[in-house]
Structure 1
Amino acid sequence: MAIYRAKTSSWYVERITSFLAGFFVFFSVVLGLYTENKGFFYFTAFVGFMLMFFAITGLCPSSILLHKLGIPSLLEKYCKEEK
């Protein structure tokens, strides 16, 4: 049985995107439960929708934005290490 383990020695686009999605879901659920405002759960649903959108289409707006801000992807990090 294969086990997938992401590299945690540095931060790259894919890792930051996963962290942000988890943070937004966790924080919006906590706020929704604490304040009893159901509006926060709509944000949670939006993040879930975007995760499914990425899985189906391969397009992730937050990853595109992070890359434009200068954060390299994991593939770019590997290509630099091999040279």
Structure 2
Amino acid sequence: MTVERCIRILAGFVVMLSLALGVEGSPIFVNQWFLALTAFAGFNLFQSGITGFCPPAFLFRKLGIPDGGGHCGSGKCQ
């Protein structure tokens, strides 16, 4: 598992959890303000794509998770 993959997993988890907690039809609905967490995750992904700055990447590297080293140009993301 690489840093890039962990970031995708974390972002997907945050979006799904915040939707489950913020949408009124959900069985675990708490408050609509949890939808702000969805917006924050989207904004963080957007700015990370532009600037290359991603705070969770620092955390994952400190935890010893290796960088990918590969690229998606070949069609096989690592």
Which one of 63, 66, 70 corresponds to residue 69 of structure 1? 63
Unpaired runs of 5+ residues, structure 1, are 1-10, 77-83
Fraction of identical pairs, as percent? 45
1:60 aligns with 2:54: yes
Q: Which amino acid is 1:62 matched to?
A: P
Unpaired runs of 5+ residues, structure 2, are 71-78
- Tell me what 1:43 maps to: 37
SS of 1:75's equivalent?
A: coil
Which structure dedicates a bigger proportion of its chain to helix?
A: 1
Which one of 7, 12, 22 corresponds to residue 22 of structure 1? 12
Q: Matches of 2:45 and 2:9 in 1, distance apart?
A: 12
- Give CA deviations for 1:4-44 in whole Å, capped at 9, x if unaligned: xxxxxxx1100010011011101110111132511110111
Shift >6 Å, 4+ stretches: none
Per the TM alignment, residue 63 of structure 1 is displaced from its structure 2 partner at its CA by 0.8
TM-score, normalised to structure 1's length?
0.73
> How large is the Cα RMSD of the aligned pairs?
1.5
On the 8 A contact 2:21/2:32 being kept in 1, the answer is no
